[in-house]
Structure 1
Amino acid sequence: MAAPVPQSLSAKFVGSFAYLTVKDRLPLILTRAIDTLHRHKYLFLEHHGEEGVEAEKQTISLLSKLLNELKTDKPVIPLTDKLCDTEQWNQYLERQQVLMGGDEKPSWFKSPWLYVECYMYRRIHEALQLNPPISSFDVFSEGKFKSFFDSQKAIILICTCIQDLSKNVENLDDGQLKEEFLKLFQVSLWGNRCDLSISSSEDNSQTSNPLDCLDSLKPFILIDDIESIWSILANSKRTRNDTTPKARVDIILDNAGFELITDLVLADFLLISGLATEIHFHGKNIPWFVSDSTYTDFKWTLRQLKAANHMGMSKCGVKWEDSIKSGVWVYHDDPFWTLPHEFCDMQQEAPNLYAELQKSNLIIFKGDLNYRKLTGDRQWEFTVSFHHALRGFHPAPFCILRTLKSDVQVGLKPGQGEELKATDVDWMTIGKYAVIQFDTPSM
């Protein structure tokens, strides 16, 4: 008998990580967004005159109202900005109202945590959209820039690594190729620790050599399906022919800064090794969860690499920009990624995106938010299978590279979660542990 679908994680469970996030972390992120706008007052004046200053005041007013709504557990209200996704957001709110039943309205501390957290970032975007000429201002850009620059030493090391591999990849035998794949896959996994939404915008950039610590971090990978992932790609390379000449890998991005660099390095390796022939990146279409990658962040990163005074970095920037121009790298930013839906809703809510993902030989999901959306952010038992928790989301073979920063985890062995809790009570939320989980439609 199939396990029932459990309740959503929610701030209504006092003392839970969701409760502490809504109570403490989200107000802090909002407060810092307001402070960022205030500090840029003279920039708005310089670029837009008094109209810019007035827009800044009005945006701060809307965000201050939002902060009050959050802190006092006011009902969630419809969006008013009339963007392409506004109707979908408002329909989702109506469905939440139906699910709650009675006269009670969805509110910050009574609704699913995944919904209200996504809703906060969408409301930040609305506040800016309603106040041109500063609508395109990213209140989180400073933190993303700082994360990139503070991680320079680590970025130089992995850019140098991929440059060296590019020169020698043809001389690697299958065993050596696999060894390099495993190494760069793990670098991409642990790059996910650099998440400004979890650190409440405090610095958590990569300062150590990411290649030196892989062996010491290996015991903290709780589920490691990397052999299945290697098999998918290696088999695709072996069987490629005139009938199926292409092998596509899709990477669903998470954080900008150092993590994005690790994803770009992995993408480069997949191409030069012949494990893939084209890479499709999927990012957010608006600023999201403080440090998530947008197309603006993607382009900015390539520009910074090209302009760097380190040869390894600049060569990567030039090569990767050429990869975009030639079409072997493709960037997508479908609005679905910034909706509150679980991914099991994708086929119905975003059929074109689902069909696009079905073209992939392998989809690589990055990060904690993608894991929450894959599993529905629900109170699953630790031992429930990953395949079951996906609730029908199976567009193509895929994996998730995630460091744990929220209290949802499935696919563990019996007793594994309890043993972890006995030795480290906060094991699910501190980014110390990680998973590489794989699923395929045929499982």
Structure 2
Amino acid sequence: MPRLFHTVDSSTPINVLASAKYRRSFAYVFTKDRMPVVITQVIDLLCRDKIEIAEKYQEGSSEELKCVIGMLSKLKTDVQTNKPLEPLNDSARDADRWNQYLEKQKEKLDGRDLTWFDSPFLFADCYFYRRVTEFFETSKTLSTYDPYLKQKDDALKGSMESIKSLAKYCNVITEKIPSMSNEEIKEETMKLFQVSMWGNECDLALAVEGAGHKSANALQQVINKKENIISNDLDGIHLFLSGVRTTALQENRKIIVDIIMDNAGYELVSDFCLADWLINSSLVDEVRFHVKNMPWFVSDTNSHDILWVLGAFEVTDSEDLLTMLNRWNKNFSSGQWNVKDKETYWTLPFSYHEMPTEDPELYNQLSSSSLLIFKGDLNYRKLLGDINWKFSTPFGAALQSFTPAPLVALRAVKTEILVGVDPEVVVKNNIVDSLWMLKGTHGVIQFHIP
């Protein structure tokens, strides 16, 4: 039987860190059910593709693959039986910081080891994926292998009709920009922010089945699900961008937007469509895309994923995709788009209010931005410190002084960490579906100016 004697039969108390020790919480469900599923999917893929992998990675890879499968199987058992979290054993530059965190937690527990079900969930959740990465990075032949690429590729293929419809729409509105009124520019800007937000539904770390985008018309989804945005600051966002544009023209300075990315595949495309619109409508001069520096949370975007998605479009027979791709390539070649893929902080277990101390260099870089856009559930949890705030808590208050620049959170709700929402809305949704907070059927677009 799993060693679950530290668990409590309750939901996460208000103003307390998420932890799997609360059996009526998302953290418990994810640790008990989702983590073993993620490992099982990776093991099944490795076993199914072992011959292909051996041919690609050549001598020694077959034996190392067996070792990796063995380590994954042990990790699955460790999670299910609530074993202590072990120090990392690789030479990556972030390993020491993980191990230092483990030591500090052990000191807080009077020398007792941190285990899967009684640790802060933000740490355990990130540590889980970091351990999977370690198994591949410590091998000689498989260090560049992405264990989630097949799942991401299947999701992208399953989203292709949605992507084509989105490309067609973006091409049409981009051509119309010279003749658009300010009100029409505003309307399209607000639509594409919503497209980007709903793109966050496609999250393989939280989906048991493939998470390709199922809507054949991305813009119709925006119309159909408008009432499902339970906190919506779009008017304030556009008003802010317009004001910044006016000021920047007067002061002859650039407007820079940073997008802290979440998932690859359809969500990546939706983010690029928003960024492309912001550039072409002259609301923004430069967009910096912050991606993970390793395979992360199954479908999180890394720099290889960007090349993979762009490469998939290059071989398409869709004129709409090729037209859109041509604009994107020009954005990159002109320097208006930049990918930031070296930063380790996005794959560390720290909340963002800790950034000024834990990574002051990154905090200063973000402070130079005109607007920060944080995508997805994990980024949202890190913004809020993974604390179970009261739902009515203002978004700005829950940021705990993380204010390097004005910021937006675009997120389809998939965990119980949620603020800036009328509690009555939560109660009404609970009556319809008690698990709605875990399904991504509702979203938030929240904005804060320091």
Q: TM-score, normalised by structure 2?
A: 0.94
Deviations 1:183-210 (A, max 9, x none): 1111111111111111035344333211
Shift of residue 38 of structure 1?
A: 1.7
CA distance in 2, matches of 1:203, 1:215: 21
8 Å CA contact 1:194–1:206 kept in 2: the answer is no
1:246 aligns with 2:251: no
1:114 alignment partner in structure 2:
122
Letter in 1 for 2:336: V
- Cα distance in 2 between the residues matched to 1:198 and 1:153: 22
In the other structure, the counterpart of 1:430 is 439
- In structure 2, the partner of 1:105 is 113
5+ unaligned residues in a row in structure 2: which ranges? 1-12
Corresponding residue number in structure 1 for 2:239: 231
Contact between 1:195 and 1:291, CA under 8 Å: does it hold in 2? yes
The CA deviation at 1:242 is: 6.0
1:69 to 78, 83, 87: 78
Give 1:144-223 correspondences, 5 Å limit.
144-200=152-208, 202-223=210-231
Q: TM-score, normalization: structure 1?
A: 0.95
Give the structure 1 partner of residue 272 of structure 2.
Answer: 264
Report the CA distance shift for 1:40/1:132 in structure 2 as closer, same or farther (over 3 A): farther
1:91 deviates by 1.2
State the SS of the aligned residue for 2:60.
helix
Q: Deviations over 1:337-377 (max 9, x none)?
A: 00011111111111111111111111111111111111011
User: What stretches of structure 1 of length at least 5 have no aligned partner?
Assistant: none
- Residue correspondences, number: 437
Q: Which moved more, 1:167-176 or 1:414-423?
A: 414-423
- Corresponding residue for 2:8? none
What amino acid maps onto 1:53 in structure 2? S
Partner residue in 2 for 1:137 = 145
Superposed CA deviations along residues 31-68 of structure 1, whole A, max 9, x for unmatched, are 11111222221123213334010111111111111111
CA distance in 2, matches of 1:307, 1:146: 16
Deviations 1:370-411 (A, max 9, x none): 111110111211112211211111110011011110011111
- Cα distance in 1 for residues equivalent to 2:19 and 2:208: 19
Query: Is the counterpart of residue 23 in structure 1 residue 23 in structure 2?
Result: no
Given the superposition, is the C-alpha separation of residues 203 and 225 from structure 1 closer, same or farther in structure 2, using an over 3 Å criterion? closer
Give the AA of the match of 2:424.
G
Distance 1:348 1:201 in 2: 39
- Could you list the per-position Cα deviations for residues 77-100 of structure 1 after superposition, in whole angstroms to 9, with x for gaps in the alignment? 11010101111111111222233x
Name the CA distance, whole Å, in 1 between partners of 2:54 and 2:291.
Answer: 31
Contact 2:14 2:390 in 1 (8 A): no
Q: How far apart in 1 are the matches of 2:184 and 2:441? A: 29
Are 1:201 and 1:290, in contact at CA under 8 Å, matched by a contact in 2?
no
Task: Indicate the SS of the match to 2:287.
Answer: strand
Greater shift, 379-388 or 413-422, is seen at 413-422
Q: Distance in 2 between matches of 1:223 and 1:73?
A: 37
Deviates more, 1:288-297 or 1:310-319: 310-319
1: CA distance, partners of 2:240 / 2:351: 26
Instruction: Establish whether residue 417 from structure 1 lines up as the match of residue 417 from structure 2.
Output: no
Root-mean-square deviation (CA, aligned residues, Å) is 1.6
Equivalent position amino acid for 2:269 in 1: I
Do residues 349 (structure 1) and 358 (structure 2) align? yes
State, as a whole percentage, how many aligned pairs show the same letter: 38
* Equivalent-residue separation in structure 1 for 2:42 and 2:290 (angstroms): 25
Letter in 1 for 2:16: Q
Residue 308 of structure 1 deviates from its aligned partner by 1.4
Q: What is aligned with 2:22?
A: 13
Aligned ranges 1:215-364 → 2 under 5 Å? 215-241=223-249, 243-333=251-341, 334-364=343-373
Per mean C-alpha deviation after superposition, the further-off stretch among 230-239 and 204-213 is: 204-213
Residue identity opposite 2:118 in structure 1:
K
SS of 1:352 mapped into structure 2: helix
User: Match of 1:382, SS?
Assistant: coil
- The DSSP-based 3-state class of the residue aligned with 2:410 is strand
